[in-house]
Chain A
Amino acid sequence: MGLEFLARVRNTSTWLGGVMALMAATVVTPMLGLAFADGVLWSLVNLQLLERIVVPLTGPARGTPQATRSIASGLVGMLFLFAAGGMLLVLLPPAALVAGFVTPLAVIVVKAGTQILLGSRAWRAIVSHRWRSGFAALALATVTWFALGALTNAGGQPAGKPPGTTVSEQTHGAPPADAHGATRAEPTGEASQDASEHESGPKGFTNIIALVTSAFPHAPWAHFLEHYEVLVFSLLVALLLMFVAHRASRAPQLVPSGLQNGVEMVVEGLSEFIISIIGPKNGPRFVPFLGTLFIYILSMNLFGLIPFMHSPTSSLNVTVALALTVFVYVQYIGFKELGPLGWLDHMLGNPRDLTGWLLAPLMLPIHILGELAKPISLSCRLFGNIFGEDMLLVAFATLGITMLPFKQLPFGIPLHAIFFPLALLGSALQALVFTVLSSIYILLMLPHEHHDEHGQEGDAQHAH
């Protein structure tokens, strides 16, 4: 129980408070998360200042000028801290603030309790036998279950409805409270319509633009930002990628290191991959387009996993734009490589004999439909996967918040954390699939080895 114990308490409470505050801010309301984080921070600073005061008073350096200075600074800090605490109590939701304030103390109690318990003879007696420990765990689980149930019945009912869960809103039957409505991820005008108008799907995590919009609800530029939210985020991703590329290629060295090395690795890998699909003759021409597509889509997919950010690809607008780009590019390649007559010949299914010409009127609509189905399937696949992933995360995060009885307090289990690996995998896979399919569409338009690839195109059309 020394300073080392305090340091461990500090670490644990920082992590715990950070995760909880992040969850509350992104899933429930930003204000709640902010209040919780402030509470934790306040408590941690308080502990730190206490340490500053208590250690010189009791330590071996008692009475020296240094110790006196430390105590004085600690006392002054305390004064400011209490002033700040009073101000926070007025400004922010007090329940969450107090919850945040109590968190480090709870961590201390639990840590000390476990330390005492782990050293005690009763604990050793329980753990020593298999059946006895199993029984103890079972009893603990039962008690927790009933305690949670009792807490739910006692304290969970009054006004404890987190936004985003339609079930609780239905049972309460009232429109969202003003305190929530003002900080929610939408303008207040829409919040009042919530009860009558049905929401289309669950809400996403709170993102930074929603924060800005709720901070300036009447500014026209905030509405502009909110309206073009996905565009802003995709531009942000593009700027980020441009920045990284600029930094990596600013002063190129023959023997690369650091950032240049990493970026070169990515570019080389993508280049090899695309050339292995399209072929060594035509491949290098398409590496810039397809590689950019891959990196851009992957970054946009992963962007939603950063707190307060939003995946642009979880909106159909962005994915349709990407797919249309690919569509136009593929047709342009076809026109350029085959010529207008060659393109028409391709669309007619390359008729060379009588059967071919007889079937040509049938092949033309099939080919045109197939070409038109490509952008639709590309965009819907990307949108559906990323949107589904995001919704899965949101659903489980909401579940993690609502399954605990303290609905107004930002305590929640980060249940969605188990789906992060899945989201990472899915993001990478969808970016890969988009790129591979785009390169295959380009490959199909290129003049050589046409007949070899035709069966594959037929398969692709069947699946659409």
Chain B
Amino acid sequence: MDMHAALSLGLPLGIGVAAIGSGIGLGLIGQGAMQAIGRQPEATGKIQLAMIIIAALAEALTIYAFVTMFLLQGKI
């Protein structure tokens, strides 16, 4: 397997794996936030803010994989 084949196989796969991870993370974050809002609807604003921040942190990991893909795509 030469480098081109390895890259063209690995890049989409890498994004997929990263997306699985951050998907699980985002799901957990959303679940936690929804439960918290359900328990304490008055704190919706604060919870949503924290949720968005942590969701952005979790989502950033997929974005890193995405950026890596675009950096390496020229080499395929």
- Which residues of A approach B to under 8 Å, CB–CB? 198-201, 276-277, 377, 380-381, 383-385, 387-388, 429-430, 432-433, 436-437, 440, 459-460, 463-464
CA distance A463 to B59 in the complex (A): 10
Choose from A198, A200, A388 the contact partner of B66 (Cβ within 8 Å). Answer: A388
CA distance A463 to B58 in the complex (A): 7
Please provide the chain B residues from 40 to 76 with a CB less than 8 Å away from any CB of chain A in the complex: 45, 49, 52-54, 56-61, 63-64, 66-67, 70, 73-76
Could you tell me the distance in whole angstroms from the C-beta of A272 to the nearest C-beta in chain B? Answer: 11
Residue of B nearest to A381 (CB): B60
CA distance A198 to B7 in the complex (A): 14
Counting contact residues on chain B (CB < 8 A from A), the size range is 20 to 34
Across the interface, do A433 and B64 meet the contact criterion of CB distance under 8 Å? no
Q: Which residues of B contact A460 (CB under 8 A)?
A: 57
CA distance A158 to B74 in the complex (A): 29
Q: Known contacts A200-B73, A201-B73; decide if A440 and B53 are in contact (CB<8 Å).
A: yes
Q: Which residues of B contact A276 (CB under 8 A)?
A: 45
Q: Which residues of A contact B61 (CB under 8 A)?
A: 463
Across the interface, do A463 and B57 meet the contact criterion of CB distance under 8 Å? yes
Across the interface, do B70 and A387 meet the contact criterion of CB distance under 8 Å? yes
Choose from A201, A429, A436 the contact partner of B49 (Cβ within 8 Å). Answer: A436
Across the interface, do B74 and A437 meet the contact criterion of CB distance under 8 Å? no
Across the interface, do A384 and B57 meet the contact criterion of CB distance under 8 Å? no
Q: Known contacts A198-B76, A201-B73; decide if A384 and B66 are in contact (CB<8 Å).
A: yes
Could you tell me the distance in whole angstroms from the C-beta of B37 to the nearest C-beta in chain A? Answer: 17
User: Could you list some 19 contacts between A and B, CB below 8 A?
Assistant: A198-B74, A276-B45, A277-B49, A377-B60, A381-B63, A383-B67, A384-B66, A384-B67, A385-B63, A429-B52, A429-B56, A433-B52, A433-B53, A436-B53, A437-B53, A440-B53, A460-B57, A463-B58, A464-B60
Q: Which residues of B contact A199 (CB under 8 A)?
A: 74
Q: Which residues of B contact A433 (CB under 8 A)?
A: 52-53, 56
CA distance A277 to B56 in the complex (A): 17
Could you tell me the distance in whole angstroms from the C-beta of B15 to the nearest C-beta in chain A? Answer: 10
CA distance A198 to B76 in the complex (A): 8
CA distance A69 to B61 in the complex (A): 71
Could you tell me the distance in whole angstroms from the C-beta of B67 to the nearest C-beta in chain A? Answer: 5
Q: Which residues of B contact A277 (CB under 8 A)?
A: 49
Residue of B nearest to A430 (CB): B56
Residue of B nearest to A198 (CB): B74
Please provide the chain B residues from 6 to 47 with a CB less than 8 Å away from any CB of chain A in the complex: 45
Could you tell me the distance in whole angstroms from the C-beta of A239 to the nearest C-beta in chain B? Answer: 29
Residue of A nearest to B65 (CB): A384
CA distance A433 to B50 in the complex (A): 10
Q: Which residues of B contact A200 (CB under 8 A)?
A: 70, 73-74
CA distance A277 to B45 in the complex (A): 11
Could you tell me the distance in whole angstroms from the C-beta of B57 to the nearest C-beta in chain A? Answer: 4
CA distance A385 to B49 in the complex (A): 19
Q: Which residues of B contact A198 (CB under 8 A)?
A: 74-76
Q: Which residues of B contact A384 (CB under 8 A)?
A: 60, 63-64, 66-67
Q: What 6 pairs between A and B have smallest CB-CB spacing?
A: A384-B63, A200-B74, A463-B57, A433-B56, A381-B60, A384-B67
Q: Which residues of A contact B73 (CB under 8 A)?
A: 200-201
Q: Which residues of B contact A432 (CB under 8 A)?
A: 52
Across the interface, do B56 and A381 meet the contact criterion of CB distance under 8 Å? yes
